[in-house]
Amino acid sequence: MTEPAVQLDQIAKRFGPFTAVHPTSLDIPAGHFVTLLGPSGCGKTTTLRMIAGLLDPTEGEIRVKGNRVNEVPIHRRNLGLVFQNYALFPHRTVEQNVAFGLKYRNVSKEEAKRRVADALSLVQLPELGHRYPRELSGGQQQRIALARAIVIEPDVLLLDEPLSALDANLREDMRVELKRIQDRLGITTIFVTHDQSEALAMSDQIVVMSAGRVEQVGPPEEVYNTPANEFVARFLGASNIFEGRVADATVDVVALDVPIFGVVPVPAERAQGLSNGEPAKLVVRAEKLKLARPGTDADGAVSVDGVVEAVDYQGQVARYFVRTGESLLQAVNMIDDHPFAEGETASVRLRPRDCAALPGNK
Amino acid sequence: MLSGWSLIRAWTILVYLFMFLPVAVVVLLSFNASQFGSFPMTGFSFRWFVELWHNDAILRAFRVSFVLGALTAVISTTLGVLASLALIRYDFRGKNLISTALIAPILVPEVVLAVALLLFLRFLAIPKSFPLLLMGHVIFTLPFVVLVVQARLVGIRRDIEEAAMSLGASPRQAFFEVTLPLLAPAIFAGMLFAFTISFDDITGTLFWKPGGVETVPTQIFAMLRNSISPEINALGTVMIVLTVGLPLLGAAVARRLGSRTN
């Protein structure tokens, strides 16, 4: 097995009495796109800044390509850094911006020129070399910032919310673009974001963080489908979570008994090895709860009737809030034909194989 | 009929006349050919400017003022930039106190500051000298530099410097390659401020200057005590051109610098 490009070994960061990052270990394999995902204040940016060398970890060790870098100042770490606000040098042209890092690396003039041109064409802005940053749009500026970071052929590319300052449409384009460039260069990338859709769309691995701790590490599908805990379930997309108890656990199926739906047989690989009689939580993604007209065939799904209390119409999809007894269920469904209306009675259905089970409160 | 607006307009004009008419009179009379600095003017002449040029005391005073102003500008700007960097970029104990202390000379009446420094020097039994005069000027020009530079520095995002360092620039290189060029317009403006303030200062200078040393303002003051010579009008005109012209020139240069960086 090859050595990880970046290793965090029990690193922690405290500011006085406040712990921003609790001791955290993480291996980032070479060439991977790893996302640190979490709400603001979860320690993801602090972690990134420690890797970059902008903050000293209070304890633990950071290794890049196997070498301890704790004592290496930022300008000797050979990292590419891209910021939310681009951080281009306003007094330099685009070309000078991109060439900046090459000045500190023994690169001949011709070579530098060629590499700047290559980087600019890689970000699809080969024509803008003589402009100043202020003459460019936000999206263009961020591409230049990316070109500036990759032209030095860094060991690791660190991206600190690089898409958050862009408009929604542009953000999606840049997402694709960024992923394309990363694939093409095969560069190890650590991406910090609070946006779950960015994380899901781009990452090889997602590291979900909360309150200075890692909650879960895994590929997007795994993190999305089998959240390790309630925080992850709620943070990645809208989830419905029901308290219950394991009624019957076998090798293949863990049957959960939850008050609203009755017994739901969850596949064992989504049930975290829960055993008989344990308190448990049933997690159902909002888009896996399907609303149907009452009386239609449930087709093996578990179903319960409820009253639509609110409809959030979004064009292709609608978000429904459905009242069943004490609970308010959230369902996001594609709209075919007509959306359900407020006050209408609907049959809420779920397929047990779409659910996941978590350990409940003891 | 006089509407409210035309009243306000008339009033405004009066205020401006009150402020600038005396200055205009001085400038006008400096070109008067007559022996006496008063109206009616008897003809247009540069003779008083020529006389200025031949007056050794005035030339000496100009030299002193220029050297004093230039040294004040350089020292004040250097200290001011360093102080601003510390205050904006770093956190340390007593930061607010130091910040207030640096700005305070603006708030304290200059006479008070002048007397205080004089008494302090007396207390330490240090004789008055040119370096001490220079020190006094640095003290009360420093706040202007600090304020101007700080304002600009706040606008230079820290992540621009961080970006430079991530690309391989040492903290020093990052400062000289990125921070300093972006700060240049403010440094330039601060320098001009310091120079002009020092150049036309009289209150502090009167208290602090050692015997035999005269700056242009104290020279004018001394001349006024004897008689009102038309030479003084000419000297006044030169001072006005310098103290108004320099900042205007500075603003123009700063705008040129700034337009490239913003």
Rounded (10°) angle between helices B130-155 and B110-123 = 130
The structural domains of chain A, ordered by start, are 6-230 (3.40.50.300), 238-359 (2.40.50.140)
Question: In this predicted structure, what is the pLDDT of residue A293?
Answer: 84
Residues of B with CB under 8 A from a CB of A: 157, 159-160, 162-171, 173-174, 177-178, 181-182, 260-262
Structure tokens at B159: 């992540």
pLDDT band at A351 (very low <50, low <70, confident <90, very high): confident
Yes or no: say if A205 and A242 are a contact pair by the CB < 8 Å rule.
Answer: no
To which residue do tokens 């000298």 refer? Answer: B129
How many CB contacts within 8 angstroms connect chain A with chain B? 75
pLDDT band at A44 (very low <50, low <70, confident <90, very high): very high
Question: In this predicted structure, what is the pLDDT of residue A47?
Answer: 94
- CB distance A104–B182 less than 8 Å? no
Per-residue pLDDT tens over the stretch B26-41: 888 888 777 766 677 7
Strands (DSSP E) found in chain A:
6-15, 18-28, 33-37, 59-64, 67-68, 79-82, 156-160, 188-193, 205-210, 213-218, 239-249, 253-258, 262-267, 279-285, 290-292, 302-313, 317-324, 327-334, 345-350, 356-359
- CB distance B168–A134 less than 8 Å? no
Question: In this predicted structure, what is the pLDDT of residue A22?
Answer: 92
Indicate left, alpha or beta for B249 from its phi (over 0: left) and psi (-120 to 50: alpha). alpha
The structural domains of chain B, ordered by start, are 55-261 (1.10.3720.10)
Question: How do beta strands A59-64 and A67-68 pair?
Answer: antiparallel
Mutation target vs B (from A51, A64, A77, A104; most B CBs, 10 A cutoff): A104
Q: How far apart are CA A39 and CA A185, in angstroms?
A: 29
Yes or no: say if B144 and B188 are a contact pair by the CB < 8 Å rule.
Answer: no
To which residue do tokens 């903290």 refer? Answer: B171
Yes or no: say if A3 and A65 are a contact pair by the CB < 8 Å rule.
Answer: yes
- Give the pLDDT mean for A74-82: 92
Which residues of chain B fall short of a pLDDT of 50? 262
Indicate left, alpha or beta for B211 from its phi (over 0: left) and psi (-120 to 50: alpha). beta
Kindly report the pTM of this predicted structure: 0.79
Q: How far apart are CA B26 and CA B224, in angstroms?
A: 14
Separation in Å, CA A320 to CA A289, A317, A349, B37 = 10, 10, 13, 90
Question: What is the percent of chain B where pLDDT is above 90?
Answer: 28
Per-residue pLDDT tens over the stretch A296-308: 777 777 888 888 9
Q: How far is B105 from chain A (nearest CA, A)?
A: 34
Question: How do beta strands A188-193 and A59-64 pair?
Answer: unpaired
